[in-house]
Amino acid sequence: PSDSLQIIGYSDLLEELMNKPMYGKKLPAIKVEATVSDYKATQKRTIDLSKKTKNTILIFHTEGCPNCKKEMTAAREVIKTIQNWKDLGISKKEAKSIKIVDINIDQIIAKYPSIATALFDKFDLSTLPFILTTNEDGLIDHKYFSLTQAQE
pLDDT in tens, 4-40: 656 656 565 556 655 567 788 999 999 999 999 988 8
* Residue 89 neighbours by CB under 8 Å, 6+ apart: none
Query: Which has the higher per-residue pLDDT, 87 or 14?
Result: 87
Residue 132 has pLDDT above 80, yes or no: yes
Classify 61 as helix, strand or coil.
strand
Mention every residue, 6+ apart, whose C-beta is less than 8 A from residue 101.
Answer: 34, 35, 36, 47, 49, 53, 56, 57, 58, 59
- The SS3 of residue 119 is helix
Rg (CA), the chain: 17
* Between 11 and 134, residue with greater pLDDT: 134
Which has the closest alpha carbon to 47: 121, 108, 93? 108
How far apart CA 96 and CA 91 sit, in angstroms, is 9
pLDDT, tens digit, 9 for 90 and up, residues 109-123: 999 999 999 999 999
Other C-beta atoms closer than 10 Å to the C-beta of 124 total: 19
